[in-house]
Structures are given as structure tokens and as C-alpha cells.
Chain A
């Protein structure tokens, strides 16, 4: 049994829109180990949610996986290379058996994922019975048990209530309950606390941490909040403009930052603010400019235009991923200058092939 639960390799995803092709992910690779919490950090449009939707086969109709492999527990989830309707249908059936069963999901806005006209009980037991793992009564018992676990009082009575009778935090707890009801190996949490207040956010994060540890569930936490990943995650992957720019353990990312984007991100939340030093006004440093337009990406590093240390090569060529020992790596020309000749040549050749 391999250590890696989910391994994404060279994943490229694009969307067809009226304005042209949006390249949401380009050649992205990262992995999650069993029982670990991975933070997927990035701004809107960095591709963090898209990568997870592709894993689950939930891309919208205009999106497609162009390339790459997604290995979940040894099973290939990417449809790349599959031809024929039979094979695709089989693939879809396989994804369905994994979704909600072996991979649980939590989304940003709990209300959109709860049906307002069905009771909580009906919705929680639905997932359990749908995968044919247990009978109605068992499912009801399990659901009550899960509600108790996520800290909802009087679960028997509340099973008969409707979503609107719960507060935002309680709804998110319920979503967590239903996501964990099937005891998945992997839980994907897509900005689960963005819509919640800070005090409730703290409760929900604690809950996710506790349940993941108790059940040995691996978690992928998608967020743009560095505070959330710092306290929760074992490892972090930072995405920018559809590329992975840095991965490593939480400590490596925060204390041995290699990529200028990660550094800028850390500066703009200002560690001092929360850790006790005086914070003079005007000391806040921000990254200038605006995130790249995924419709009109150049060939170089997507961060080049906003990067304080950008060089001419950054504009035209994409840097190689450089490892710094262990699992820490970053894709930046600052760390792979010596490979410049080799890389530029390869990229020129590739471009030449594409254009003619």
C-alpha cells in the first residue's frame, strides 16, 4: 500500500467560454498522503477549486481535462485516454461510487447543498443508503451518531427539522456530518469557513481537525486564508495562475519561503499583526497589481508581472520546479538559473512543434 492517497500528475484543465479558452490548470502536480491535512492555497482563479472538481469528475459542461493523471488509492480518476462510450460510462460509474463514499466533500455555502424542502434526516441518510452500505434504520442511527459527533445537541429531534431552522454554523456542521458519514478516506473542504464568522470558523476548523485525526481521514483544505492553513495543515501547496508555485510542510512554507509569491502573500497578512508586536500603520506590504487573466496567459511565469524580483527570463520562460530537500519545492527562476539554457531550449522546441 502506497503512502500517497491521492496523486495528481501533470494535470491540465481548460474551459471553453464565449471569449476563448481559459486555461485554469497547467501541468499541475501534487499529492496527499494518507491521514494528512493538505492546504491548497491560492487566490480566486488560481485553480485551487478546479483541481478538486476535476478529481471528482464534477467539472461544468464547458470544462475538460486536457492531460494528466489523478491516482486515488491506485485508481485512475482522470478520463484522459479513455475512448468509446462504454469506457466513459464505466468511468463515470466508478467516479459515482467514489464520490460521497470514499471521498467526502464540504463546500463554501452550506445552504446551496442542502435541499430546503427535505428534512435534515432525509438528506443525511440519503447518502448512506444510496451507496447500498446499510439499511434505512442503520443509516438513521449512524446519522444521529454523526450529528452528535459534530456537536449538534438533541440530534434525534433535529433530524426531523428543515435546513432553515439551523444557523449557518450548524448547517456547515451538518454538511461535515454528511460528508463524514460514509467514513471516507479523503475529505475535500472547499473554503468551508469563508461564509462564517470568525468565532464560528474557529469551531468548525477545530471540528474538522478533531474528526480527521480520529478517523485517520486525509483532508484537502482549499482556502485563501493563510491563518487557516497555518493552524490546521501539515503540508501546503500554493497555487498561482493555474500553476503550483511552491509546496512543502507548513513550517517550510512559512519559515523557509522560497517563492516570491508565497513571500508576498505572507507579508500581506503580516505575521506581526497577530503575534504580538506593535503594528504601526502603513507597514502593511502588499503585492502590487492584479492576478493574471487566464484567457491571455503568456508563456512565462504567471507571477512575473507582479513579482519584485522578476527577470527577463521570467516573462518568456516557465521555471523548473526545484527541490529543497524533503518535500519542499518551488518553481522559480531564482533557484534554477543554472538550468536556464537547457530549459529555454526545451520550451522553444515545444513551442516550435505546437506552431508548425
Chain B
């Protein structure tokens, strides 16, 4: 098998918080021992509710946040301990697209300056070439070359997101973390961005880590989907399999809660409702993190954390 572009093993990221000025320190396990692989040209979708650590996972893989434990391999090289300087050649191979198209573009830069910045940093292109490349990138994402002199605030949300994509593509990366790139957009624009990302992937053979809480769209772009709950991967497998026949009780709950855009179907399939919400990650319950909300929880679930086991062509962390 070919070397995966990204391989992660036992990744952990904690945040320390203090309650009050002199309160005792507490650890939040944002990412708690996640292992995964992303093959070249593949999209791995990561879904989960807010606070499940999916964004932290994306940022830790890109080493925007330093991992507290575990290892990250990029194309076979262990980059976990790399310093800022050592990371430099790797950075251009791994890029990121952000959630908020309003906050992720520096408002004082023109679109041209924004897209050219990565090229200026790596000095990959001469001035004239840079201009040409920016216009080419604008074309790829469906914007017009004369937009180059405009400022981000003059664009709509979807257009800004496309500027963000053009910028991420500037250095021809091999791997892009898409951190909820469609959550802040309108429905018709969401589909547009997803289609654009798919098209780019087909042309450039990129790999994506696509983070989202919107399951319908994730399913469209992903080859495989991983479901996260409280910092842990509870189920990971081929996209259709995970969506159609979820195994883990949490995945089932998540899938049934997605509103179906079809009145007849919606009347037939009432969502499965559970009591309660995602618990605070500060006082993690012992055992399986989902046990308190799980309809099938046994005594064993409350005592031990279930490991990720192979079930057919996917992996599930559940004793059932």
C-alpha cells in the first residue's frame, strides 16, 4: 500500500484552564488519543458536535497547536517534534481552509495581496509570474481576474470562502484541512463550495481532512467518515457505510437527528431523541464517554473505555 499523506497515532491535545483567578487547574482533553490515516487523493470527513475536538484535531495535525502526545507523519516523515524552522518546507505541502470567511481574510489586504502572500513568503514566483498565478487561481475558484484589487469586505460570504480556497491552493499543497468551510454559508452556496472542492481534488489529486457538523454535505465529499465524540474517534469507515448503517450508538443518534429534506420521509422517520446534551469535557466520565447518554450502556461501559475495533471494513469503539 502506498504511504498515506498523513498518518496520526495516539494524538492528544489538552488545554489547561483555571476556574476563577486562583482556582485549581483543570485539564480539558480536547483530543484524546486519536489515530487515523489519510491516503493520497482521499477525503476523510470528520463529524461531531461542537466541543468534540474536531477543529482541535485539524489544527494539531497542521501543528498550529503543538500535540501533547502521539505522533504525526506527513508522507512518511515524523514531523511531531519539528521546530518552526524545520516545519517550513512542510508547511507549503499542508494548507487549511477556515470556517469563518469573514474572519479568516485580513481586511487590510487586497484580494491580490492575500492570494500572493504565500508565494511571497516562499519566493516561489517572480513578480509578474505571481500576478499571473493569482489570476489563474481566481479563475479556478470562479472569480474574475479584475477582482484582484478589491478588498475582502466587498465580497459575499461564498466569494470570500473561494478567495480562501484560492489562497490555500497557491503553493500547490498535497493536503488541506477544511475546518468547517461551509458551516457559515447559505445552502445553495454550501453545495457550490463542496462541488468546487471536489473538482479541485479530482484535478490536483489532493487529500482533504473535511471537518463539519453538517452530515449531509460531509457525506458528499468524503470517501471515509470519522465520527468524533468528546475528543475520541468512536467510528470510522467508508462514507456510505457509516451513514447508511451506523454501528456505534452515537453515530446512530447523530444520523437520525439530521433533518431530512423530504416531507414524506421526515414524517416516517421521526428522529431518535435522547435526553441531555454533550457533557462538559472538563469532568470526563469514567469509561465510555457516551455511556451517560447511551440507551444500551452497560456496567462495563461505565467502567472501561472501549477500544477502536475492526468491524467489517470499519472501526468502531463500542463494546456492543
Contact = CB atoms under 8 A, between A and B. Distances in A.
A273 B219 contact: yes
B266 interface: yes
Contacts of A285: 191, 195
A226 interface: yes
Interface residues of A, number: 50
Interface string A194-232: 000111111101100000000000000000111110110
Contact of A275 (B190, B194, B265, B271): B265
B263 A230 contact: yes
B259 A231 contact: yes
Contacts, number: 147
Nearest to B199: A282
Contact of A270 (B158, B220, B256): B220
B148 interface: no
A274 B262 contact: yes
A264 B191 CA distance: 10
A283 B217 CA distance: 11
Contacts of A288: 142, 192
Interface string A276-290: 101101111111101
A167 B277 contact: yes
A283 B221 CA distance: 10
A313 to B, nearest CB: 23
Contacts of A271: 261-262, 265
B191 to A, nearest CB: 3
Interface string B237-259: 00110011000000001101111
B51 to A, nearest CB: 9
B254 A199 contact: yes
B220 A274 contact: no
A275 B216 CA distance: 10
Say whether chain B's binding surface is mostly helix, strand, loop, or mixed: helix
A250 interface: yes
Contact of B259 (A170, A202, A251, A268): A202
A320 interface: no
Contact of A286 (B50, B194, B213, B254): B194
B186 interface: yes
B254 A281 contact: no
Say whether chain A's binding surface is mostly helix, strand, loop, or mixed: helix
Nearest to A291: B156
Nearest to B43: A281
Contacts of A167: 277
Given A43-B186, A281-B220, A228 B259 contact: yes
Nearest to A42: B186
B223 interface: yes
B260 A274 contact: yes
A120 to B, nearest CB: 17
A243 to B, nearest CB: 16
Given A269-B191, A284-B198, A286-B195, A226 B261 contact: yes
Interface in A120-173: 167-170
Contacts of B188: 43, 264-265, 268, 286-287, 291
B274 A284 contact: no
Contact of A291 (B186, B215, B267): B186
A335 interface: no
A268 B187 contact: yes
Interface string B259-294: 111111111000101100110000000000000000
Given A201-B259, A227-B258, A268-B188, 5 more contacts: A44-B157, A202-B256, A278-B240, A281-B221, A281-B223
Interface of B: 49-50, 142, 156-159, 186-192, 194-195, 198, 202, 213, 215-217, 219-221, 223, 239-240, 243-244, 253-254, 256-267, 271, 273-274, 277-278
25 contacts: A43-B187, A43-B189, A170-B277, A198-B215, A198-B257, A198-B259, A199-B254, A199-B274, A199-B277, A202-B273, A231-B259, A231-B263, A255-B263, A264-B188, A269-B261, A273-B220, A274-B216, A274-B262, A275-B265, A279-B239, A282-B202, A284-B191, A284-B195, A284-B220, A291-B156
